[in-house]
Amino acid sequence: MYKHRFLTVIAYLVFAFIFLPLLLIVITSFNSADSITIPLQGFSLQWFVKVFHSRSLVGSFKNSLILAILASVIGIIFGLISSVALIKRPGKVSNFLLTIFLSPSLIPGIVIGYVLFRFLVVILAIPLNIALILGHLLVVMPYCVRIISASLKDVDESMEEAARSLGCTPIKAFLKVVLPNLKPAILSAFMLSFINSFNNIPVSMYLKGPGMDTLPYSMMNYIEYNYDPTVSALSVMLMMMTLLFMIIMDRSMSGQRTKSKLAQGE
């Protein structure tokens, strides 16, 4: 009994450690004071309005949004192709390559950013906007490959073989039978890729150019010279956007799982 109580206390402490800073950000975003202070001096929505009046924050938000979508979509395309190639030919080489795909997430982001800058920009002279997309693609690829490959292993190969025996070409059988079963994994990979690309700072810091600031970098610069709750208000808006994004993705995946169960029942 005492052991369970101890674990419960530890669990509550962990939740408090995670959610208390988020709660403080939400509270300070509605403060009427000109600085981030607790307790509140009054209720105000002025900082939410100020977010939309800041050209740097709005412009960098658009840059991060476009960059995260591009990197996630390209990452899923290449991740799907790579996963099919590795899973369809199992062996020591495939397992080794799957481990290699995970390696970028094990290396500090600041190191990846510096290496990419030296190789892509300095040596290969690739334009900064393309180098930035390639850098974020490297960030999201581990999530795409690992999630899609894990789901691909669970797909029954007999369904694809049955489709081919009925006259489908290998590509058509994959598109008609295998790909629909990978939809939850693709949505999960997109969600994780989008969030990690959108929030990335180290790679963006090295590969961004004039007028290409990303939102996390702009927020960091804003905090350096300002101490008002504008960034807190922006953080609350980003939390709400992420929550809405996760709800939509969860409902999409739930609907897909329901259809799969109904199809199996038939």
Report the alpha-carbon distance of residue 205 to residue 108 in Å, rounded: 14
**Is the pLDDT reported for residue 80 higher than 70?**
yes
Two structure tokens written together for 5: 């109580």
Pick the closest to residue 183 from 76, 101, 89, 81 (CA basis): 76
What pLDDT digit, counting tens, does each position of 101-158 carry?
776 667 777 888 888 888 888 888 888 888 889 989 988 888 888 888 888 877 777 7
pTM: 0.81
Q: Which domains does the chain have, with CATH numbers?
A: 51-265 (1.10.3720.10)
Euclidean distance between CA atoms 153 and 190, whole angstroms: 19
Both structure tokens of 77 = 């395309």
pLDDT higher than threshold 70 for residue 253: no
